Structure 1
Amino acid sequence: MVLKNFKLMGEMNVNQISTTHLLDTFSEVFPEDTSIAIADSRTFIYYKPSPVIDLQIKPGDQVKQGSATYKAFSLRRSIFSYIDSSVFGVSYFGLSVPIFNNGKPVNCVTAIFPMRKNYSLPAFFTVKNEDCWYPVAVSDILYLEAENRKAKIVTEQIQGYHKFNLSEIEYLLPSEYFIRCHRSFIVNVRAIAEIQPDFHSTFLLIMNNGDRIPVSQSYASYFRKQLMF
């Protein structure tokens, strides 16, 4: 229900939405320990901290690179992501939805959820290869690929399929190391050996095992910003 409400809001024209309306909607949907941030394309224009988590955002603060709000603006779509403490000094989960006006994202609403023990990111995933299951350390993953509605996880030693699809497993990966570069691929930036230019301002990633992963045009700009080149 929460994701559905967010998607519907993202489809609305910004002129139809007021801050009061958004906050009333959020109060009904989210628990009291959720903080709320509203931003335009450059700065935060509203912030309501919760008693449990406070990112110390003030109206007028720049939208920080790496934040959930920044990701939603950059990707031009709703995102739910784990954000580590390097951005605001506090780790959190962010659910962000851009609001469009004439096809352009002009505002973004973010629900900020506190980290709890049951929110901890996994250190291992278990993948199936033929008739056996193998635990794979997250740090050993080179990349993940969407295949047959499941996430194929590739390491230098083994590859196999996880029961979650790529979008579901994306939320369980540390965002400081794993970046989506294509609708079908998520890569571990520590496992990239080389970045080559490709057609139409896109890129080709050469991974440590020699596999070649495309960076699609939709993700090229976001990818460059994240890797700062």
Structure 2
Amino acid sequence: MNNGVLEQLAQFACEWIPEKAAFAVAADGQYIHLDQRGLDIPLAAGHPVIPGDIAHQVMKTGRRAEDRLSFPDQNTSYYGIGYPVEIGTLPGAVIVLLPEERKKAAPIRYLTGRNDDDWVPVSVSRITHIESADKKTWFYADGEEFASTRTLKQLEAELPASFLRVHRSYLINTDFISRIRKDDFTSGLLITTSDGSEIPVSQTHAPTLRKVLGF
């Protein structure tokens, strides 16, 4: 592994990552560097990258990714932001880790959407799922469709933990999942909600869904 590249990444990270955020570097199926920076994160150089976690997502897709990380022996969860890098000739990832409580304020309770000519405040507990389509955001509640001015990315950070990203175009309220089955056409997963909507689950987000729902 190229130590010079690692040193450059570490120096760069120290300059732009917040003081109380840790960062890790992964490549070749394992973590190769970790700077705790005052946090107690149970990772170390040589620790394997787990399929489905944020480092795995970044190295597989070559794209920036965000996800929560939690460890069974700790009460604290972390919010991770991963960026693709090259370590020598290998695809790698730099992961910034922040304590979850620093990342999110209290979740929103209402989402206001447009229905025809009216703006309607809707309790998020009634929303089954949220969709991004045609450069617009739509959410669904009680069989009605509402247009929102927020993006999926914004809503993912603002909504309660019952909402889960399952696809680049969908957030779903897990309280309204009635069935999960294998999609015969894509070999992926397909969610059916209580209102009969069918939501695809991307391969990137399937491990998180399985972890959250325990299957």
Q: What's the TM-score, normalizing by structure 2?
A: 0.76
Query: Runs (4+) of structure 1 moved beyond 6 Å?
Result: 14-17
How far apart in 2 are the matches of 1:44 and 1:176?
Answer: 30
Match of 2:176 in 1: 191
Quick check: 1:72–1:79 contact (8 Å CA) kept in 2? yes
List aligned pairs for 1:141-220, cutoff 5 A.
Answer: 141-156=127-142, 158-173=144-159, 178-181=164-167, 183-194=168-179, 195-215=181-201, 219-220=202-203
The amino acid of 2:83's aligned partner reads: V
Report the count of equivalent residues: 209
- In the alignment, structure 1 segments of 5+ residues that lack a partner are 1-13
Q: CA deviation at 1:61?
A: 2.0
Distance change (3 Å), C-alpha of 1:116 and 1:167:
closer
Quick check: 1:82–1:172 contact (8 Å CA) kept in 2? no
Paired residue secondary structure (1:146):
strand
The amino acid of 2:206's aligned partner reads: F
Match of 2:107 in 1: 122
Q: Which of 95, 119, 123 is residue 132 of structure 1 equivalent to?
A: 119
Q: CA deviation at 1:207?
A: 1.4
Quick check: 1:66–1:83 contact (8 Å CA) kept in 2? no
Q: CA deviation at 1:100?
A: 5.2
Q: What's the TM-score, normalizing by structure 1?
A: 0.72
The structure with the greater share of residues assigned to helix is 1
Q: RMSD across aligned C-alpha pairs, in angstroms? A: 3.5
Match of 1:227 in 2: 210
The structure with the greater share of residues assigned to strand is 2
- In the alignment, structure 2 segments of 5+ residues that lack a partner are none
How far apart in 1 are the matches of 2:90 and 2:121?
Answer: 42
Q: After the TM superposition, which of the residue ranges 80-89 and 56-65 deviates more from structure 2?
A: 80-89
Quick check: 1:150–1:166 contact (8 Å CA) kept in 2? no
How far apart in 1 are the matches of 2:60 and 2:75?
Answer: 22
